[in-house]
């Protein structure tokens, strides 16, 4: 590597330290520039664009900490090593808070400095390499709803919202925890004729059983211990608008009875009250429980189930729509940036590959937590692989199993639900089918065709003999190239889907595409 690619800026008001560092580092092939103060060092850094900066903390005039904050804006990719004679907790915390790569305590071993500079330079090269491939996806798009996704599964969800939003039909939103059920409820409300009227969300699982009826329907003064005044419930407050009951499967049977009456008759009674109160409320309910099983176990009223299940809208888990992960990450980073919670504004391609390889048991909520956590500890404006939580990196590194040769879901894949829609229910739900892996080689069979016993082995034998007869070139690279071409064709060039189908990371797939000169 040339010296122009190993440029080091030393900022220190001690002439002897600058001389010592210049002598040692230049002998190791580094190109050294110097500055005697923070005020002098900032314009030098802007002009020279060094890869690594050695910055003294205690200097006359501007301190190292102050200089570090300015340097982060003029050379955001430079790795800054803070040099200090006072290695206390406060210094360590502040150095990392303001984006330093590391810090070293004076007096220091010059060999240790050389090793630390090499590590910082390697980090700079990794950052530059990973950043060059990646461009933010949401420069021109504004997701006002907060619902992000261009995958086929999410497009089906958006179509359903458009179909049912304008009606007053009760909607049941199902899906795993963390898939964004409240966002869908708010979108249904926003696009309905009730927009402008109240929208109230109630988490039924978060309210104690002895208080939920009072919360929903209100109570009269003196109706129970502690009821010192009349209270208006959520249904009354929401008159003319939309109420969203989240985790409705956790509601007691007695409360379910009153909910059923509100749906059927459009009227409620406050706890301890005698009068009926008319309410005009559209209800949207959500649950991550299997209500059909709850009905069978007598834990959920069957008549209420059918009343709620007029339209069912199922949200896909994040593992079912991994194509949306890059857009979701961009959306999360942009929102956090606007809230001034983080400085990082993008992920490297390799880091994105890790996220798209992970299965996300906690869905979008877990993704948001991981992105926030990683962006907080990232140095500079790009989140690298090393910034991701270890548990995500480790799990994502395991091979991805899409299906077994018989086309059945992998053992750790939850079976698709098959709800028994009621007589009054209209089941509007995205297809739960995923694109199966084509186990045949070179287009011998359609992915949708049944696979006779032995066909896969016969296909492999045919392919092997054909490749042996065609050329004496090594078999494995030729076979690998043909397999990758076949999968890219099946996925229409979608590298996220192709890498998942092949069981490799997207970064490995990109290297193979380049290696084999695939289009």
Q: Which domains occur in the chain, in start order? A: 3-131 (3.40.50.2300), 165-314 (3.40.50.300), 318-396 (1.10.8.60), 435-515 (1.10.10)
For residue 41, pLDDT beyond 80: yes
Range of lowest pLDDT (295-309, 326-340, 349-363) = 326-340
Q: Tell me the two tokens of residue 69.
A: 């904050």
Residue that wins the pLDDT comparison between 503 and 37: 37
pLDDT value of residue 217: 93
Least confident of 211-220, 291-300, 485-494, 506-515: 506-515
Our CA angle for 163, 169, 171, nearest 5°, is 80
The DSSP call for residue 317 is P
Tell me if the pTM is above 0.95: no
Q: Report the pLDDT value the prediction gives residue 304, as an integer from 0 to 100.
A: 94
Residue 138 has a pLDDT of 42
The mean per-residue pLDDT over the stretch 191-206 comes to 91
CA-angle at 73, arms to 29 and 337, nearest 5°: 130
Least confident piece of the model among 197-201, 203-207, 316-320, 450-454: 450-454
Q: Is the pLDDT of residue 20 over 80?
A: yes
Q: How far apart are CA 207 and CA 226, in angstroms?
A: 16
pLDDT of residue 4: 55
Q: Report, as an integer, the average pLDDT of 53-75.
A: 87
* pLDDT above 70: percentage of residues in the chain: 80
Per DSSP, the residues of 141-207 read ---TTS----SHHHHHHHHHHHHHTTS---EEEE--TTS-HHHHHHHHHHTSTTBTB-EEEEEGGGS
Q: What is the pLDDT of residues 353-395, one digit of tens each?
A: 899 989 999 999 999 999 999 998 887 778 888 899 988 888 7
Residue 193 Cα distances to 96, 174, 176, 197, angstroms: 51, 23, 29, 9
Q: What b/e sequence results for 430-443 when a residue is b if at least 16 CB atoms lie within 10 Å of its CB, and e otherwise?
A: beeebeebbbbbee
Q: Does the pLDDT at position 189 exceed 60?
A: yes
Residue 120 pLDDT grade (very low, low, confident, very high; cuts 50, 70, 90): confident
Helix (H, G, I), strand (E, B) or coil at 408: coil
Looking at every residue in the chain, the average pLDDT score rounds to 80
Listed as own residue / partner, the contacts of 14-19 with beta carbons closer than 8 Å and 24 or more positions apart are 14/56, 17/56, 17/83
Residue 515 φ then ψ, to 5°: -60, -40
Contacts 24+ apart (CB under 8 A), 138-141: 138/327, 138/330, 138/331, 138/334
> Which residue did the predictor score with more confidence, 486 or 435?
486
Q: What is the mean pLDDT of residues 305-316?
A: 93
Residue 402 has pLDDT above 90, yes or no: no
> What residues contact 114, with CB distance under 8 A and at least 6 apart?
24, 25, 28
Judge whether residue 91 has pLDDT over 50.
yes
Pairwise pLDDT comparison (450 vs 232), residue with the higher score? 232
pLDDT exceeds cutoff 50 at 6: yes
- Residue with the bigger pLDDT between 129 and 352: it is 352
Mean pLDDT (whole number) for 158-187: 91
**Rounded average pLDDT over 140-152:** 64
Mean pLDDT of 476-486: 85
What does the alpha-carbon distance between residue 474 and residue 41 come to, in Å, rounded to a whole number?
A: 56
Residue 258 has pLDDT above 50, yes or no: yes
Question: In this predicted structure, what is the pLDDT of residue 169?
Answer: 93
Res 396 pLDDT > 70: no
Mean pLDDT of all residues in 123-148: 54
Question: SS3 for 383?
Answer: strand
**Mean pLDDT throughout 19-35?**
89
Which residue would you say has higher pLDDT here, 329 or 458? Answer: 329
Which residues lie below 8 Å from residue 435, measured CB to CB, with a gap of 6+? 447, 490, 491, 497
Q: Assign 322 a pLDDT band (cuts: 50, 70, 90).
A: very high
User: What pLDDT sits at residue 107?
Assistant: 79
Confidence of residue 86 (pLDDT cuts 50, 70, 90): low
pLDDT > 90: percent of the chain: 31
Query: pLDDT category, 97, cuts 50, 70, 90?
Result: low
Q: What pLDDT does 135 receive?
A: 42
**Measured CA distances, 257 to 179, 205, 293, 390, 420 (Å):** 28, 17, 19, 47, 22
At 267, give phi and psi (nearest 5°). Answer: -150, 155
Calculate mean pLDDT across residues 43-60: 90
Residues belonging to the chain: 519
Write down the pLDDT at residue 329. 92
Phi, psi (rounded to 5 degrees) for 172: -105, 115
Angle made by CA atoms 490, 358, 394, in degrees to the nearest 5: 130
Instruction: Provide DSSP, 230-250.
Output: -EE-HHHHTTTSEEEEETGGG
Q: What's the mean pLDDT in 249-270?
A: 91
CA pair distance 100, 120, nearest whole angstrom: 10
């Amino acid at each position: 590597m040339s010296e122009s690619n190993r440029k080091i800026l030393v900022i220190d008001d001690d002439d002897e330290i600058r001389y010592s560092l210049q002598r040692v580092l230049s002998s190791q092939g580094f190109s050294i520039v110097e500055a005697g103060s923070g005020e002098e060092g900032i314009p030098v850094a802007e002009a020279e664009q060094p890869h690594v900066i050695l910055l003294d903390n205690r200097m006359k005039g501007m301190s190292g900490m102050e200089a570090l904050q300015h340097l982060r804006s003029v050379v955001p990719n430079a790795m800054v090593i803070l040099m200090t004679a006072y290695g206390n907790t406060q210094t360590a915390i502040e150095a990392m808070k303001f984006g330093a790569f590391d810090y070293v305590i004076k007096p220091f071993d010059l060999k240790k400095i050389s090793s630390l500079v090499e590590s910082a330079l390697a980090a700079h090269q990794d950052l530059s390499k990973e950043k060059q491939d990646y461009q933010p996806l949401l420069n021109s798009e504004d997701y006002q709803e907060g619902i992000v996704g261009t995958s086929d599964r999410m497009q089906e969800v958006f179509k359903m919202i458009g179909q049912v939003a304008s009606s007053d039909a009760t909607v049941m939103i199902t899906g795993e925890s963390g898939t964004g059920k409240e966002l869908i409820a708010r979108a249904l409300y926003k696009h309905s004729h009730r927009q402008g009227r109240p929208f109230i969300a109630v988490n039924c699982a978060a309210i104690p059983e002895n208080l939920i009826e009072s919360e929903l329907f209100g109570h009269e003064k003196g109706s129970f211990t502690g009821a010192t005044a009349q209270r208006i419930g959520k249904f009354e407050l929401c008159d003319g608008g939309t109420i969203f009951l989240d985790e409705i499967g956790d509601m007691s049977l007695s409360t379910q009875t009153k909910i059923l009456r509100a749906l059927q008759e459009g009227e409620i009674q406050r706890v301890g009250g005698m009068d009926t109160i008319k309410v005009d409320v559209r209800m949207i309910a959500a649950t991550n429980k299997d209500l059909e099983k709850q009905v069978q176990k007598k834990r959920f009223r069957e008549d209420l189930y059918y009343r709620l299940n007029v339209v069912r809208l199922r949200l896909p888990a994040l593992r079912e729509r991994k194509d949306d992960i890059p857009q979701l990450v961009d959306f999360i980073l942009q929102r956090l940036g606007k809230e001034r919670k983080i400085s990082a504004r993008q992920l490297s391609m390799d880091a994105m590959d890790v996220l798209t390889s992970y299965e996300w048991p906690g869905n979008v909520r877990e993704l948001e937590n991981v992105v926030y956590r990683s962006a907080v500890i990232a140095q500079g404006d790009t989140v690298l692989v090393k910034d991701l939580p270890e548990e995500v990196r480790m799990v994502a590194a395991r091979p991805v199993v899409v299906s077994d040769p018989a086309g059945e879901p992998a053992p750790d894949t939850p079976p698709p639900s098959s709800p028994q829609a009621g007589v009054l229910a209209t089941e509007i739900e995205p297809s739960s089918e995923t694109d199966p892996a084509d186990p045949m080689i070179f287009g011998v069979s359609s992915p949708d065709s049944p696979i006779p016993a032995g066909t896969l082995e016969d296909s492999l034998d045919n392919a092997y003999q054909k490749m042996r007869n065609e050329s004496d070139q090594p078999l494995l690279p030729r076979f690998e190239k043909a397999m990758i071409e076949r999968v890219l064709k099946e996925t229409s060039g979608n590298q996220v889907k192709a890498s998942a189908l092949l069981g490799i990371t997207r970064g490995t797939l990109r290297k193979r595409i380049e290696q084999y000169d695939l289009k």
